[in-house]
Amino acid sequence: MTPRSKSGAKKSAAKKKPGVRRATGSLPHARLPARDAEGRVLVVIDTPKGSRNKYEFDEELGVFALGGVLPAGAVFPFDFGYVPRTRAGDGDPLDVLVLMDEPAFVGCVVPVRLVGAIEAEQTEEGETFRNDRLLAVAENSHNHRDVRDVSDLGANLLDEIEHFFASYNEAKGKKFEVLDRVGARTAARLLEKAMRD
């Protein structure tokens, strides 16, 4: 991983656990495109809905490994993953929270439609950088088929999602500050900006 993202946000490689990184190398997950042949955004799920465990792809081992455990009573509210072949402001692939009817499994590739994003800054060890979260719906979801934009999610649900990310980061000694809630068009622009050749 490079210590500096496209946006210029500096991120020290020392902050990462040795050997545990998001997929960026030459292993199968890293070779996936950001979009499939039909133009749908692809998300690799690294942590299923309802899990206290946070998983990360270990490039050296070529498998997903346990990256951390949430405090008792805290779980991921929806499936969480990343868009392959992207780089966000924190130096990792772009994060995505995926609304689905049932939890997926670690490593599952899910075609999604973007519905919005939470634009945010994260502060870690005195450094502040962008760490946006895309919001998406699984393409074949029944329960969320009418969700087309962030405005369709409702203010209460968005408040709870933002609270989850703030408390999740706080438990890890980081600060997560929401800058804005944006719709599907802006989310698509964030994705395009993060895509790598």
* 42 in a structural domain: yes
CATH number of the domain enclosing 150: 3.90.80.10
**Which residues in 84-132 belong to E strands, given as ranges?**
95-99, 109-124, 127-130
**φ, ψ for residue 188 (rounded to 5)?**
-65, -40
Q: Give the per-residue pLDDT at 184.
A: 97
* 9 in a structural domain: no
Domain count, the chain: 1
Residue numbers in the chain where pLDDT is lower than 70: 1-28, 30, 196-197
Tokens of 125: 């060890």
Q: Give the per-residue pLDDT at 67.
A: 93
Q: Is the pTM of this model over 0.75?
A: yes
* 4 in a structural domain: no
Q: Give the per-residue pLDDT at 15.
A: 45
* 13 in a structural domain: no
* 63 in a structural domain: yes
Q: Give the per-residue pLDDT at 60.
A: 84
* 36 in a structural domain: yes
Range of the structural domain that residue 46 is part of: 18-194
